[in-house]
Homo-oligomer: A and B are copies of this chain.
């Protein structure tokens, strides 16, 4: 009888452990399908410059073409810090709703098909709307000579003001 109790105890512990593991897996953020483009991996390389979670999928690899293209996906409310690129950048909305703002200007609401051209050395930020996921393609011309300058985070006040302008 004692053996049966010990067996039941082990079974109970195993069940609890399994439930805990399953719950932990469920905690991992599930990215909804908002476009036909791959979401890629968690954007760990640039996480320090983002408020919130983001994902990045490189879409090209041939360096001869001289135009790296990636798909960047932001969870609702996620945006990157104020920053600039010496080569500039092109953003192309492909799913969900997001915003792009240049320092001192009104924010631009972005959806599928919205194209933003960012001139070299222009301070700006981009990210998702507070209530929507967002994906955009990011294209850098002249990648060999491009340098990014990362600045301060976009404060909650700046973010709210940018969105309320629309």
Binding site for B on A (CB under 8 A): 35-38, 59-62, 64-67, 69, 87-90, 92-94, 111-115, 117-120, 137, 139, 141-142
Contacts and interface: CB of A to CB of B under 8 A. Distances in A.
**Copies of this subunit:** 2
Contact of A115 (B59, B87, B92, B141): B59
Looking at chain A's contact residues, the main secondary structure is loop
Contacts of A88: 62, 64-65
Contacts of A111: 36
Given A93-B36, A113-B35, A113-B38, A141 B66 contact: yes
Contacts of A93: 36
A136 to B, nearest CB: 12
A86 to B, nearest CB: 11
Contact of A65 (B37, B64, B141): B141
A142 B60 CA distance: 16
A60 B117 contact: yes
Contacts of A37: 112-113
A67 B113 CA distance: 17
Contacts of A87: 65-66
A163 B35 CA distance: 25
Contacts of A137: 92
A65 B122 CA distance: 12
A103 B59 CA distance: 23
B64 A90 contact: no
B112 A90 contact: no
10 contacts: A36-B112, A36-B114, A59-B115, A62-B119, A65-B90, A65-B117, A65-B119, A66-B141, A67-B141, A92-B137
